[in-house]
Homo-oligomer: A and B are copies of this chain.
Amino acid sequence: MEATQKAVSLLETAQLRQTPQRIVILATLLAEHTHPSAEDLHLRISPQLPSISIGTVYRTLESLVEAGIVRKVRSESGTMFFDANIEPHHHLYDEHARRIADFEDARLHALIAEYLQKHPIPGFDVYDFQLHISGSFQPPVS
């Protein structure tokens, strides 16, 4: 399915207003295979919708997160990155390129989930967990 159509249908089921801004933001994010920041998205969208403001991008992303359509992940540097992949997955933090990539490994996820279930943490109620793996994509020339 095309990204724009998918965006429209997701907004519809989430009962969110289908404004041009929201449709473009969500469609752009769905078409991405990376994890863009709000600013990244704003830059990418500006040519198609020059009047869109960065504030709207932030507010829209926040609504999408609340609706469960989008996930946000904070990077080491503090910037938020957005992710339309809401399947449980982990992240690889590239320390050199300063970007974040998805890391899906159902077995690893199950392994940790099982461990946490078998060994509950006293006084702490676990909602969710995420593995942050830091390293680099291309080993630095040493």
Contact = CB atoms under 8 A, between A and B. Distances in A.
Interface residues of A, number: 32
A127 B123 CA distance: 31
A137 B123 contact: yes
Contacts of A31: none
A139 B123 CA distance: 8
Copies in the complex: 2
A128 B135 contact: yes
B121 A92 contact: yes
A135 B131 contact: no
B132 A129 contact: yes
Given A105-B119, A124-B135, 9 more contacts: A74-B76, A116-B133, A126-B133, A126-B134, A127-B135, A128-B133, A128-B134, A129-B131, A130-B132
